[in-house]
Amino acid sequence: MEEHLQEDLATLSELDEKSLLESLSQRFKQDKIYTYIGDILVAVNPFKYLPLYEKEVSETYKCHDKKALPPHIFAVADRAYQSMLGRLGTGPENQCIVISGESGAGKTESTKLLLRHMMELCKANSQLEQQILQVNPLLEVFGNAQTVMNDNSSRFGKYIQLRFSGTSVKGAKINEYLLEKSRVVQQDKGERNFHIFYCMLAGVCPDDKEIYGLLEPEQYRYLNGASLSVDMVNHWSKKYADVCNAMDMVGFEEQEKVDMMTILAGILSLGNIMLEPGEGDALRVTETSVGWLRAAAGQFGVQEEELLKSLICTMSVTRGEAIRRLHSQQQAEDARDSIAKVAYGRVFGWIVSKVNELLAPNVDPDVELREIGILDIFGFENFAVNRFEQLCINLANEQLQYFFNHHIFLMEQREYKEENLDWEVITYKDNKPILDLFLTKPIGILSLLDEQSAFPQASDRDFVDKLNGKFKAHPNYEVVRSHSPAFTVVHYAAKVQYNGVGFLERNRDTIPGSIRGLFINSVTPLLSLLFAATISRTGTLMPRKAKLAQIAEDNFNSTRKQSVGAQFKHSLGVLMEKMFAASPHFIRCIKPNCTKSPDVLDNNFVMDQLRYNGLLETIRIRRDGFSWRPTFKEFAERYSLLLLKPDTPLNRESCMHILNNTRFTGWTCGSSRLFFKYWHQEELARLLDRLGKAAVA
């Protein structure tokens, strides 16, 4: 009994931080990594293989009596699926599964398990199922990389929406958020570039290497000149085979694949181009990198001189006259790196939009589709040096925490009040002030960043000075006294010091003005397409024709586009709108230790996560509160089968009549709705099921 009770922390009678930690830790020792808090799943990363996901296991979690089964991620998938179909007390509606946790806590692995079980549930046709299952490994190889926190860290956020008609899946759509492009040109100590580069270098056969113009890994500056150990070669070459297989399965064409690999090889060659002062004021390519310039131009399918020109000078138009401005060495190197970043970013965006095209539901437009979305973003990060990318990542995590709080604490308790329930308010750590610090117009951090980014002369120091001036009294902001520009934000999860260097440039994300024109004329069809099309905010490619006029202008004017911060803020807003309109399911991933070790649970480290996740308060509200709150009408309509008499009015009395005929306890009645515990929904579904069966018999 004791053990069974612990499977759901909302049933703990003694409730404090210590008993919560103790319960999770005891379970973890027995390899029980999943635990419920009512309808919320807590998952502790085991960092080792556990026999939890075999076919037999997923069979048992197919819409059976989940209360009798141990907590499991498959049960969450099942619940979302049944709710989407309207089998769990509410009408059929869109669902979203929100997975949170810090970097390395297990969000991406959870996403894959959810998808797998979902495919089992809806008995997808085998081709579509395989395509959908291949999407994650495919995106991972291009968008994940090794960091100090996680060997397979997601360097982008994604929202995968499965589209259903009735019980069967018809397609999928992916939204991606903010790929960390800077990684292409620079990685901190202990970190690596995106997986795909190592995959290619280890996996491409010698003949193809020649076609792509690939050399040995240690020759590339963008890979920090690192060689690959034998183990790594084995590991990555297997992954390369998997990627090729995934691309085939999803439906990429052979030529597209070849073009893509060639562009990636071009990025590596580009990184080796070094420049030095030449005759006059112009820079020239160093003697040792002449070959790299030739290689890059060949791989990009452009003229060598044109590529060089885009590195060493900028063209601009003033009063109708084209003016050439020569670059300093630093500017030329920055131009080189921006080309690499933009090319990689476009390849990634193209893969996503291609996947979306290939997996778009093939149904009549009037067929109504429902959705289950799974959100897997980059987890909260606090490195030795935190840059603009970490700021965006951490902001996204703040937004998710807010979403969680809003659903679990705010909305729920607001309804108790409205309905005059006798309720002792549970307080929680509201992170709205932090969100406001970032997002408020016109004086949030992002707005100030945009304001400064619009001044060509402004420096990172100016930006940080502005922040200090505005926010020095804000409880979530701390001024940092140092000669380099830095500031601290007190996030919901931890204090993070940001290094302001590079903020303006990364937010502007300017690409050299001439690069678009250069690449549009590439003889490599894919590269030309990537630069002729504009990737819209939603991640889809916009057609060439629609954008041609703008491109002509952009060729000389690269500062006009929306800043990275503004785009990110916008896409987060759209995502939140979508999520607020769906019915949410939460998975809280916990990282047991920071050394990625199996069987080790570091108490202090885990306690921190329990605290900032607000898990104690969550248990309290799930234990004492009512997570399911249908109106009288909703409830009576839904359970009219239990009313027995036809044509009974859908009001309070009818509801009481239904409920008095059950043996349910723990529910209560407000002025316009009923208040149920999280388990009542499934109990009623079971009762209804039994009655339905009895009626048929």
| Residues 107-136 interacting with Mg ion (rule: CB under 5 A) | 107-108
| Distance spanning both ends of the chain, measured CA to CA | 35
CB of 108 to Mg ion, least distance (A): 3
Select from 143-151, 474-482, 502-510, 540-548 the region that touches ligand ATP (CB under 6 A). 143-151
Give the integer Cα–Cα distance in Å for 541 and 530: 8
Give the integer Cα–Cα distance in Å for 248 and 131: 9
CB of 589 to ligand ATP, least distance (A): 6
Of 433, 540, 545, 442, which Cα lies nearest the Cα of 490? 433
Is residue 154 within the footprint of Mg ion (CB under 5 A)? Answer: yes
Q: Which is nearer to ligand ATP, 189 or 560 (CB)?
A: 189
Structural contact between residues 39 and 622, judged by C-beta atoms closer than 8 angstroms: yes
Q: Which is nearer to Mg ion, 58 or 108 (CB)?
A: 108
Confirm whether 447 is a catalytic residue: no
User: Which residue in the list 180, 381, 398, 412 is annotated as catalytic?
Assistant: 381
| Residues 354-383 interacting with ligand ATP (rule: CB under 6 A) | 378-379
Give the integer Cα–Cα distance in Å for 188 and 181: 14
Confirm whether 103 is a catalytic residue: yes
Is residue 45 within the footprint of ligand ATP (CB under 6 A)? Answer: yes
Contact partner at residue 105 from ligand ATP, Mg ion, none, CB < 5 to 8 Å by partner kind: ligand ATP
Select from 14-22, 85-93, 101-109, 262-270 the region that touches Mg ion (CB under 5 A). 101-109
Confirm whether 7 is a catalytic residue: no
User: How many Cβ atoms from other residues are within 10 Å of residue 692's Cβ?
Assistant: 11
Question: What number of CA atoms fall less than 13 Å from residue 63's CA on the CB side?
Answer: 16
Give the integer Cα–Cα distance in Å for 436 and 446: 10
CB of 378 to Mg ion, least distance (A): 7
Of 76, 105, 178, 564, the residue at the interface with ligand ATP (CB under 6 A) is 105
CB of 491 to ligand ATP, least distance (A): 15
User: Is 68 in a helix, a strand, or coil?
Assistant: helix
Q: Which is nearer to Mg ion, 154 or 540 (CB)?
A: 154
CB of 150 to Mg ion, least distance (A): 7
Helix (H) / strand (E) element for 605: namely helix 603-612
Question: What number of CA atoms fall less than 13 Å from residue 355's CA on the CB side?
Answer: 27
Structural contact between residues 235 and 133, judged by C-beta atoms closer than 8 angstroms: no
User: Which residue in the list 58, 83, 103, 110 is annotated as catalytic?
Assistant: 103
User: Which residue in the list 45, 144, 154, 237 is annotated as catalytic?
Assistant: 154
User: Which residue in the list 153, 193, 453, 627 is annotated as catalytic?
Assistant: 153
Structural contact between residues 66 and 75, judged by C-beta atoms closer than 8 angstroms: yes
Is residue 101 within the footprint of ligand ATP (CB under 6 A)? Answer: yes
Is residue 152 within the footprint of ligand ATP (CB under 6 A)? Answer: yes
- Pull the structure tokens for residue 395: 């902001």
Distance of CA 592 to the CA centre of its chain: 21
Cα angle: 651, vertex 656, 660; to 5 degrees: 155
Select from 106-114, 283-291, 411-419, 436-444 the region that touches ligand ATP (CB under 6 A). 106-114
Beta bridge partners of 42: 35, 588
Select from 151-159, 237-245, 313-321, 674-682 the region that touches Mg ion (CB under 5 A). 151-159
What Rg, from alpha-carbon coordinates, does the chain have?
A: 28
Confirm whether 314 is a catalytic residue: no
Q: Which is nearer to ligand ATP, 41 or 85 (CB)?
A: 41
Of 89, 56, 42, 184, which Cα lies nearest the Cα of 583? 89
Give the CB-nearest residue to ligand ATP: 379
Structural contact between residues 73 and 58, judged by C-beta atoms closer than 8 angstroms: no
Of 76, 589, 610, 685, the residue at the interface with ligand ATP (CB under 6 A) is 589
User: Is 319 in a helix, a strand, or coil?
Assistant: coil
* Catalytic residue list: 103-104, 108, 150, 153-154, 379, 381
Residues making contact with ligand ATP (CB under 6 A): 45-47, 49-50, 101, 103-109, 149-154, 378-379, 589
Residues making contact with Mg ion (CB under 5 A): 107-108, 154
